[in-house]
Chains A and B, each alone.
Chain A
Amino acid sequence: MKVQPSTATLLPPQLLAQLERMELVSRKIFRGRMKGERRSRRKGQSVEFADFRNYVPGDDLRFIDWNLYARLDKLFLKLFQEEEDLHFYALIDCSPSMDFGEPSKFLYARQLAAALGYIGLCRSDRVKIEPLGLPVARAAPALRGRGSLWRMLSYLEQLPCSGTTDLTAAVKSFCLRNAGKGIVVLISDLMDKNGYESALRALIARDLDVYVIQVLSQAEIDPDLKGDLRLVDVEDQAVTEVSVSPRLLDKYRRTLATFIETARAFSARRGISYMMTSTDRPVERLISRYLRQRGLVR
Chain B
Amino acid sequence: MSWLNMLGPLEWAILGSLPGLLVALYFLKLRRQPLVVPSTYLWTKTLEDLHVNSLWQRLRQSLLLLLQLLLLLFVILAVLRPGCQGTDLVGDRFIFLLDHSASMSATDVEAGTRLDEAKRKISQTIERMKPGDSAMLIAFSNRAQVIQSYTRNKSLLKKKLESVEQTERGTDLTEALTAASGLANPGRTSTEETDIQVADSLPAKLLIYSDGGVNEIPDFSLGNLTPEYFPIGGLEPPRNAGFTAFALSDESGADRRMELFAQLRNSLDTGRTVNVSLFVEGKLFDAQAEIQLDPGQAKGVSFDLTALAGSIDQPQQLKLQIEEPDDYLQDNVVYGILNPPRPAKLLVIGPGNDYLKVALQTEAIVRQAEVRFESRNFLETPEYETDAALGTFDLIVYDDCTPAKLPQCSTVFVGRAPPGDSWKFGPRQFPTVIANFDQSHPLMNSLQLLKLSIVESAPLEPPAGATVLLESTDGPLMALAPRESYQDLVISFPLAELQENGEFSINTNWPSQLSFPLFVQNLVSYLSGGARYFTTEVSSPGSIVRLRVPPTVEQIRITNPANQMETLRRGSDQSFSFSGTERAGWYDARAEGKKELELPFAVNLLDPRESDLTVRDKLEIGHEEIAGQRSIEPARTEFWRWLVILALAVLLMEWLVYNRRLAM
Contact = CB atoms under 8 A, between A and B. Distances in A.
Interface of A: 96-98, 100-101, 105, 189, 191-193, 217, 220, 225-235, 238-249, 251-252, 255-256, 259
A256 B42 contact: yes
B39 interface: yes
Contacts of A240: 40, 43-44, 47
Nearest to B43: A240
B30 A234 contact: no
Contacts of A247: 60
25 contacts: A189-B38, A191-B42, A192-B41, A217-B38, A225-B35, A226-B663, A227-B662, A229-B35, A231-B43, A232-B36, A232-B37, A232-B40, A234-B37, A235-B38, A235-B39, A240-B43, A240-B44, A242-B43, A244-B661, A245-B664, A249-B664, A251-B49, A252-B42, A255-B46, A256-B42
Interface in B40-60: 40-47, 49-50, 60
Nearest to A165: B39
A133 B34 CA distance: 27
Nearest to B31: A228
A191 B41 contact: yes
Given A229-B35, A244-B664, A255 B61 contact: no
Given A227-B661, A248-B46, A252-B46, A232 B39 contact: no
A258 B74 CA distance: 45
A20 to B, nearest CB: 34
Contacts of B595: none
A256 B45 CA distance: 9
Nearest to A192: B41
B32 interface: yes
Contacts of B38: 96-98, 100-101, 105, 189, 191, 217, 220, 233-235
Nearest to B659: A226
B660 to A, nearest CB: 7
Contacts of A225: 35
B552 interface: no
Given A231-B43, A245-B60, A245-B661, A255 B49 contact: yes
A252 B37 CA distance: 14
Contact of B660 (A98, A105, A246): A246
B56 to A, nearest CB: 10
Contacts of B40: 231-233, 238-240
A291 to B, nearest CB: 24
B564 interface: no
Nearest to B662: A226
Interface string B641-664: 000000000000000000011111
Given A240-B47, A255-B46, 9 more contacts: A193-B39, A220-B38, A225-B35, A228-B31, A232-B37, A235-B38, A242-B43, A248-B46, A251-B46
A252 B45 CA distance: 8
Contacts of A98: 38
Nearest to A233: B40
A103 to B, nearest CB: 14
Interface residues of B, number: 27
Contacts of A246: 660, 664
Most chain B beta carbons < 10 A, residue from A227, A229, A231, A238: A231
B422 interface: no
B17 interface: no
A229 B32 contact: yes
Contacts of B32: 228-230, 241
Given A191-B41, A217-B38, A228 B664 contact: no
A48 B38 CA distance: 51
Contacts of A245: 60, 660-661, 664
Most chain B beta carbons < 10 A, residue from A98, A193, A248: A248
Nearest to A232: B36
B33 interface: yes
A84 B33 CA distance: 57
Nearest to B60: A245
A242 B35 CA distance: 11
Interface string B500-529: 000000000000000000000000000000
Nearest to B48: A255
Contact of A228 (B30, B36, B37, B663): B30
A116 to B, nearest CB: 23
A189 B38 CA distance: 10
Contacts of B664: 226, 244-246, 249
Interface in B584-599: none
A247 B33 CA distance: 19
Nearest to A97: B38
Top 3 nearest A-B pairs (CB, nearest first) are A191-B39, A97-B38, A100-B38
Interface string B330-363: 0000000000000000000000000000000000
Contact of A231 (B30, B37, B60, B661): B37
A233 B47 contact: no
A252 B663 CA distance: 16
A66 B82 CA distance: 117
Nearest to A226: B662
Contacts of B41: 191-193, 233
Contacts of A217: 38
Contacts of A227: 33, 661-662
B39 A97 contact: yes
Contact of A252 (B30, B34, B36, B43): B43
B45 A234 contact: no
A14 to B, nearest CB: 31
Contacts of A259: 42, 45
Contacts of B46: 248, 251-252, 255
Most chain A beta carbons < 10 A, residue from B32, B39, B41, B663: B39
Contacts of A230: 32-35
Contacts of B30: 228
Contacts of B43: 231, 240, 242, 252
A134 B660 CA distance: 44
Nearest to A251: B46
B657 to A, nearest CB: 9
Contacts of B39: 97, 189, 191, 193, 233-235
Contacts of B47: 240, 242
Nearest to B35: A229
Contacts of A235: 38-39
